[in-house]
A and B are shown apart, each in its own frame.
Chain A
Amino acid sequence: MTRAQAIPAAVALAAVLAATAMGGWRAGLIVAVWLGAWAVNARLAASARGRLAVPALFGLTLVLLWEMATRLYAVPPVILPPPTAILARLATGLPVIWGDFVQTFVKGALSGYAIGCSAALAAAIAIDRSPFLTRGLLPVGNFVAALPIVGIAPILVMWFGFDWQSKAAVVVVMVFFPMLVNTVEGLRAATAMQRDQMRTWSAGYWQELRYLRLPVAMPFIFNGLKISTTLALIGAIVAEFFGSPIRGMGFRISTEVGRLGLDMVWAVIVVAALAGSAFYGIVAAVEKRVTFWHPSQRNRG
């Protein structure tokens, strides 16, 4: 063991001993596992092939520590169930969760996302033709995008009823403004030189839009689309707290919290997290295909 390795090892040993002395053998064990995993991670990060392994190991370590902490300290499952219990509940409750997923994600979030994003795209192209409207609407849009829009959920639930239509409406309003602001910005991204070039080819407005300005705007549009994925899921779930039929992820979360079925709540959260990440990942993958020419995509190799 060289000196450079010996010092961190000694510090780690001291930390484990201190944790054991203060918090008993359980705390010592947890700290030891944490430091061990961290040492492996640091070794991996120093080598070149750690790009996927390092975050994966970090995540696994967190789950392992969670499991150890809840088991060793016998934390009551109504406060924090261990990951294995959540997985077991996920397996047994799959039909129920699938119904919730379809209600909230497919019917509420996806339809609202599609309507909201296409409406914002159309609105952006429409107002882009008038510099006056652009100058007026951009500050207002930026302002509205910073507002706590989830607050309109109770109003829209009142207007559109308890079923998925009101959730889709909340999602439409939530994704509209970020999408609008990004698209308007993107439509202005074409340089004067490029636009002159199109004009020398005697391209009409729609041709210029189709062949120059929309492609140039794509990185901005996808930025809006990616921001909106998370907003859509949040909007659909939070809107269910204000009233919903007897299925849906937000409904499941609020009722299971009331019944102290925390393992079910966490199972729904796992599904929501997976759905959110997958949704984002799909949009990001499409972006990669569409904007392959953009520097931010080319550099990744």
Chain B
Amino acid sequence: MRALVPVLSVVAAIMVLWYAAAVPMNAQWTRDQAARAGTEIGFAEVLAASFNQDRPRLPAPHQVVAELWNSTVIEELTGRRGLWNTGTLSNRSLIYHGWITLSATLMGFAIGTGLGIVLAIGIVHNRAMDQSVMPWAIASQTVPILAIAPMIIVVLNSVGVTGLLPKAIISAYLSFFPVVVGMVKGLRSPDAMQMDLLATYNASEAQTLWKLRLPASVPYLFTSLKVAVAAALVGTIVGELPTGAVAGLGARLLSGSYYGQTVQIWAALFAAAAVAAGLVGLIGWVQRRTLRRMGMAA
């Protein structure tokens, strides 16, 4: 609550800057048009025109909001291919593209998280695995894996794996690393005293894992899940770039960039931001609920 006023004023300042920046960015085009038509125009006309171009260099915030509204609610309700008229989501609406991206993200996130937890358990229990896998897991993150995402997609397509799975594999790869690192840290977080206590109870390795290590790792898990889900979304979007701009928010970005539809790019970008914020927020909510139930809430 204490942060509400500062945050709102920062956001308001960004809005003002955005509108201010839209004028010099877009004015050139308006002036060119006027010069071509042979008319003189004053600053007031330039100002008004900068906020209402079809293909501005920098669309004004209200144009982006209008495009978001048009390509979701309006398109589905009144569009020829919209939900209202056909019963299926329109392939021109951001809801459809957002859903494509979201489903691949969630699938990749689930695969990556599952693998990450299994690998972390292995690393904690096996010295050879710790020493051989961990350095490579860290080194693998200095490799710009996103750069080869398009190639993975093309190769998987050529061997007959299509649909959600190729994108999900990329987002799984990206989301897997934060989970491994966080879980290894979390599984090792019980201190010597707690481990000794379980040893005096004659607890087996499996019992120690279930009753001490896993519960102790939950706070670490949620923290890394938030990072992982954001990474998974980035992976999916980049994975959609080379598929020939068929479907998904990444495809929307690419087709917008091909046809100079700047407003469409910005709308897709904001849709992606909303998806990211929603996913991170959802995990944060589950985290608070879970930690409170476990009596670990900060």
Q: How far is the CA of A272 from the CA of B146 in the complex (A)?
A: 11
Q: Can you list 14 A-B pairs with a CB-CB distance of less than 8 A?
A: A45-B131, A132-B9, A146-B226, A151-B237, A154-B254, A154-B257, A229-B142, A238-B147, A241-B241, A241-B242, A253-B148, A254-B242, A257-B242, A272-B147
Interchain CB contact under 8 A, B142 and A277: yes
Interchain CB contact under 8 A, B234 and A46: no
Segment with Cβ contacts to A, from B32-40, B42-50, B154-162: B154-162
- In the complex, B104 has a CB within 8 A of chain A: no
Interchain CB contact under 8 A, B128 and A41: yes
Binding site of B, secondary structure by majority: helix, strand, loop or mixed? helix
Interchain CB contact under 8 A, B234 and A58: no
- Counting chain B CB atoms within 10 Å of each CB, the highest count among A54, A152, A237, A253 belongs to A54
B238-284 residues at the A interface, CB under 8 angstroms: 238, 241-242, 249-250, 253-254, 256-257, 260, 262, 265-266, 268-269, 272-273, 276-277, 280
Q: How far is the CA of A165 from the CA of B242 in the complex (A)?
A: 23
For A272, the chain B residues whose CB sits under 8 A away are: 143-144, 147
A238-B136 contact in complex given A146-B230, A146-B276, A154-B253, C-beta closer than 8 Å: no
- In the complex, A249 has a CB within 8 A of chain B: yes
- In the complex, B57 has a CB within 8 A of chain A: yes
Shortest distance in angstroms between B52's beta carbon and chain A's nearest beta carbon? 19
Interchain CB contact under 8 A, B254 and A269: no
Q: How far is the CA of A150 from the CA of B235 in the complex (A)?
A: 10
For B254, the chain A residues whose CB sits under 8 A away are: 154, 242
Binding site of A, secondary structure by majority: helix, strand, loop or mixed? helix
A148-B276 contact in complex given A42-B128, A238-B147, A241-B242, C-beta closer than 8 Å: yes
Closest to A240 in B: B147
- In the complex, B87 has a CB within 8 A of chain A: no
For B242, the chain A residues whose CB sits under 8 A away are: 241, 254, 257
Interchain CB contact under 8 A, B2 and A143: no
Closest to A78 in B: B158
- In the complex, A286 has a CB within 8 A of chain B: no
Interchain CB contact under 8 A, B141 and A230: yes
Interchain CB contact under 8 A, B237 and A276: no
> Once A and B bind, how many residue pairs between them come within 8 Å at the CB atom?
160
The interface size of chain B toward A, counting residues with CB under 8 Å, comes to 59
A136-B127 contact in complex given A241-B241, A269-B147, C-beta closer than 8 Å: no
Interchain CB contact under 8 A, A276 and B143: yes
Interchain CB contact under 8 A, A58 and B233: no
B136 interface neighbour in A59, A147, A257, A262, Cβ under 8 Å = A59
* Interface size class of chain A, counting residues whose CB lies under 8 Å from the partner chain: 35 or more
Shortest distance in angstroms between A270's beta carbon and chain B's nearest beta carbon? 9
Contact with A along B139-175 (1 / 0, CB 8 A): 1011110111011001100110000000000000000
Q: How far is the CA of A18 from the CA of B297 in the complex (A)?
A: 49
- In the complex, B7 has a CB within 8 A of chain A: yes
For B256, the chain A residues whose CB sits under 8 A away are: 154
A159-B57 contact in complex given A45-B127, A147-B276, C-beta closer than 8 Å: yes
A140 interface neighbour in B10, B135, B265, Cβ under 8 Å = B10
For A45, the chain B residues whose CB sits under 8 A away are: 127-128, 130-132
Closest to B230 in A: A146
Shortest distance in angstroms between B224's beta carbon and chain A's nearest beta carbon? 13
Q: How far is the CA of A152 from the CA of B262 in the complex (A)?
A: 11
For B139, the chain A residues whose CB sits under 8 A away are: 277
Q: How far is the CA of A57 from the CA of B256 in the complex (A)?
A: 47
- In the complex, A250 has a CB within 8 A of chain B: yes
- In the complex, B192 has a CB within 8 A of chain A: no
- In the complex, B11 has a CB within 8 A of chain A: yes
Closest to B25 in A: A159
The 6 closest A-B pairs by CB, nearest first: A136-B6, A154-B257, A58-B132, A136-B10, A237-B147, A45-B128
Shortest distance in angstroms between A181's beta carbon and chain B's nearest beta carbon? 13
- In the complex, A36 has a CB within 8 A of chain B: no
Shortest distance in angstroms between A280's beta carbon and chain B's nearest beta carbon? 4
Closest to B11 in A: A140
For A250, the chain B residues whose CB sits under 8 A away are: 147
Closest to A265 in B: B151
- In the complex, A139 has a CB within 8 A of chain B: yes
A237-B146 contact in complex given A45-B128, A137-B10, A257-B242, C-beta closer than 8 Å: yes
Q: How far is the CA of A78 from the CA of B155 in the complex (A)?
A: 8
A132-B143 contact in complex given A58-B132, A148-B272, A257-B150, C-beta closer than 8 Å: no
Shortest distance in angstroms between A41's beta carbon and chain B's nearest beta carbon? 5
Closest to A51 in B: B131
Shortest distance in angstroms between A127's beta carbon and chain B's nearest beta carbon? 10
Interchain CB contact under 8 A, B155 and A79: yes
Q: How far is the CA of A159 from the CA of B25 in the complex (A)?
A: 9
For A38, the chain B residues whose CB sits under 8 A away are: 128
Interchain CB contact under 8 A, A46 and B132: no
